[in-house]
């Protein structure tokens, strides 16, 4: 595959970021977020100064952006790091579910050629997506623990950190999915995602629960070697050297697989150098075996 220049790649990534973020929030919010991120990251990646945005041209998918060919002389790996940082900044700025499947949509919007070029510049999109999913899961567990504690008569929990008495005014911008709350000093105390609020309202009254965790399996794939390791650990205990030999991989590759599976909560460390299958890992194997036999 022919390499794409740094300037063309960065331009394509920024346009895809704008397109996906715009659909998830609003075009205005996407424009402001990406513009602010570029300016902020100039301190770390000085070549970002060669990126200019014309907000007046930012209509629909025609994001008004120009990336100077001066960036083409920058080391490709450094550009890759800048792209990864930019992706993280943008999706972290989206509110919880608004960014849940952001990486999947970004890949689809960018296309296979651009996605491959991003990966060739040492950007691990699977890892970024994995971190995104499990950050969401940790938030959900904390949320339900807080609710459970309140229901059991424990200490009252207010996850917001403020009450309606603290809200002096609120403002909803046209064509935006967000409502901003202000206190009496005119300071921002929260930004509410109206799309999520409406969704939660409908789910609560209809009795329909949110996405089951099984859906994550379709987004973060379990590859052959990882699946083999899970099966091996399910059958018997073994040391790292034995596992690496049976899988025909290096110790470094084995460590990478263990790291990924532990982040997916299919393996857990029970000591510094010992891991075991979790209930979720065992459940995954059982479902996989049933599916293969059907």
pLDDT in tens, 76-122: 999 999 999 999 888 877 765 566 678 888 999 999 999 999 999 99
pLDDT given at position 124: 87
Secondary structure (3-state) at 230? helix
Q: Which domains does the chain have, with CATH numbers?
A: 6-134 (no CATH), 164-206 (no CATH), 222-293 (1.10.10.10)
Rounded (10°) angle between helices 76-93 and 6-24: 10
pLDDT greater than 80 at residue 168:
yes
Give the confidence band of 276 by pLDDT, cuts at 50, 70, 90: confident
- The Cα 147–Cα 120 span in angstroms is 44
| Out of 18-32, 54-68, 178-192, least confident range | 54-68
DSSP-derived letter for residue 53 is: E
pLDDT number for residue 142: 60
Listed in sequence order, the DSSP H helices in the chain are 6-24, 27-41, 76-93, 102-110, 112-120, 125-151, 194-206, 216-219, 224-235, 240-247, 251-263, 279-293
Q: If you average pLDDT over every residue of the chain, what do you get?
A: 77
């Amino acid at each position: 595959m022919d390499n794409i220049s740094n300037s063309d790649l960065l331009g394509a990534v920024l346009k895809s970021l704008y397109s996906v973020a715009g659909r998830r929030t609003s075009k205005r919010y996407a424009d402001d977020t990406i513009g602010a991120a570029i300016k902020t990251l100039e301190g770390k990646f000085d070549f970002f100064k060669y990126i200019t945005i014309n907000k007046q041209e930012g209509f629909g998918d025609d994001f008004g952006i120009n990336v100077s060919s001066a960036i083409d002389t920058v080391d490709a790996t450094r550009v890759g790091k800048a792209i990864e940082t930019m992706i993280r900044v943008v999706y972290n700025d989206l509110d919880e579910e608004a960014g849940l499947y952001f990486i999947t949509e970004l890949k689809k919007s960018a296309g296979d050629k651009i996605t491959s070029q991003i990966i060739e510049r040492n950007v691990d999109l699977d890892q970024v997506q994995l971190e995104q999913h499990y950050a969401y899961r940790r938030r959900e567990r904390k949320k339900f623990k807080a609710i459970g504690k309140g229901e059991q008569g424990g200490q009252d929990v207010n996850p917001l950190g403020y009450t309606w008495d603290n809200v002096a005014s609120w403002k909803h911008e046209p064509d935006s999915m967000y409502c901003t709350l202000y206190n009496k000093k005119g300071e921002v105390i929260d930004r509410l995602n109206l799309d999520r609020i409406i969704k939660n309202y409908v789910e609560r009254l209809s009795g329909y629960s949110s996405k089951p965790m099984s859906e994550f399996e379709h987004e973060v794939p379990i590859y052959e070697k990882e699946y083999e390791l899970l099966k091996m650990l399910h059958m018997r205990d073994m040391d790292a050297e034995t596992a690496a030999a049976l899988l025909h991989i290096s110790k470094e590759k084995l460590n990478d697989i263990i790291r990924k599976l532990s982040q997916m909560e299919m393996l857990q460390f029970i000591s510094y150098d010992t891991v075991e299958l979790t209930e979720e890992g065992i459940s995954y194997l059982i479902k996989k075996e049933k599916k293969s036999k059907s």
